[in-house]
Amino acid sequence: MSRIAYVNGRYRDIRDASVNIEDRGYQFSDGVYEVCEVRGGKIVDLPRHMTRLQRSLRELQIAMPMQLTSLEAVIHEVTRRNRVTYGIVYLQVTRGVARRDHAFPAQAVRPAVVVTARSLNFDKNQETAARGIGVITIPENRWPRVDIKSVALLPNVLAKQQAREKGAYEAWFVDSDGHVTEGASSNAWIVTGDGKVVTRSADQGILAGVTRAVLRDVIASLQMSLEERPFTPAEAYGAAEAFVTASSQIVMPVVTIDSRPVADGKPGPVATRLREQFHRFSAFS
């Protein structure tokens, strides 16, 4: 079955789909994106993703490319046309096409929209979660506006590659104060010896993850205690558990950090329970 992409108003076979070479997303990374999980053919937590998309666009002074309801309809349609029951849908909005010049185009241009969807292997994802993943820590080298979900991901790409080369799955950035900010494509969490779940506050240094936001509700309703504060790699090495969150993997247990086992080196009960309970608290549409 051929894959279908939505590109600027049309549904195209992905092999024939193309964008203009003067799209500012291509030349300047001048755009934003969202990744939503698809489960049972439904989009998980779409309203939260749309709220964050609109915020990212506002911060960059890019107009919404179409009405929100139309955009949501496109997301559903791309998911349907690709027959994705479990997987992800990717949405990208860039400032649009203009002759190359760093400043915004003098005359407003239409923002460009691309939506794709693809199936993921559910069993493989579950197996990864049952095994747990390794992370490495590396110095933070991103711009301060990581709260904007921008397509400018070069530091994240290099961080992820460094992790892969070290046999790990994710890289955690560590800021100049010695605190973990977040992963290259996920938020970072630990569980303390006395059972407190810890993650950095979303005020600064991280992307306000949708999975992170939903997980706060999960934690509250399971009457677990949450501390929103920074933590160091040293605290993480000695933690009872660690995990990461992202739409594409929900709650993924971390079993090694910089090659040191976290506790007994197996996924812990808190991360496992949060992963199991997560979708009871998410919205499906």
| Nearest in space to 157 (alpha carbons), one of 127, 183, 126 | 183
Q: Does 186 bind ligand PDD (CB under 6 A)?
A: yes
Please choose, from the candidates 250, 247, 251, 252, the residue with its C-alpha nearest in 3D space to the C-alpha of residue 53: 247
Smallest gap from residue 228 Cβ to ligand PDD (A) = 15
What 3 state SS string does 136-181 have? EEEECCCCCCCCCCECCCHHHHHHHHHHHHCCCCEEEEECCCCCEE
Residue 267, class by beta-carbon neighbours within 10 Å (0-12 exposed, 13-18 middle, 19+ buried)?
buried
First to last CA, the chain: 25
- Would you count residue 210 as binding ligand PDD (CB under 6 A)? yes
Stretch of 20-28, 204-212, 217-225, 233-241 lying at the interface with ligand PDD (CB under 6 A): 204-212
User: Up-side HSE of residue 137: CA atoms within 13 Å toward CB?
Assistant: 20
Sign of torsion over alpha carbons 243, 264, 160, 116: negative
Contact between residue 151 and residue 32 where contact means Cβ atoms under 8 Å apart: yes
Would you count residue 245 as binding ligand PDD (CB under 6 A)?
Answer: yes
Is 35 a residue that touches ligand PDD (CB under 6 A)? Answer: yes
Pairing of strands 187-191, 180-183: unpaired
Per CB under 6 A, 187 contacts ligand PDD: yes
Nearer to ligand PDD among residue 180 and residue 210 (C-beta) = 210
Our answer to whether residue 149 is catalytic in this structure is: yes
Q: What are phi and psi of 103, to 5 degrees?
A: -65, 160
Given the complex with ligand PDD, which of 35 and 60 has the nearer CB atom? 35
Under rule CB under 6 A, residue 207 binds ligand PDD = yes
d(CA 189, CA 181): 10
Site size toward ligand PDD, by CB under 6 A: 15
In whole angstroms, give the CA distance from residue 116 to residue 7: 9
The answer to the question of residue 199 lying near ligand PDD (CB under 6 A) is no
Q: Binding of ligand PDD at residue 182 (CB under 6 A)?
A: yes
Out of 79, 92, 116, 185, point to the residue binding ligand PDD (CB under 6 A).
185
The site string for ligand PDD over 118-147 (x = CB under 6 A, - otherwise) reads ------------------------------
* Residue in 149, 166, 196, 266 annotated catalytic: 149
Least distance from C-beta 4 to ligand PDD, angstroms?
20
Instruction: Check residue 116 for interaction with ligand PDD (CB under 6 A).
Output: no
Residue 248 contacts ligand PDD per CB under 6 A: yes
CB of 244 to ligand PDD, least distance (A): 8
Q: How many CB atoms lie within 10 A of CB 23?
A: 21
Shortest Å, Cβ 149 to ligand PDD: 7
Q: How far is the CB of 66 from ligand PDD (least distance, A)?
A: 22
Cite the active site residues.
Answer: 149
Q: List residues near ligand PDD by CB under 6 A.
A: 35, 156, 182, 185-187, 207, 209-212, 245-248
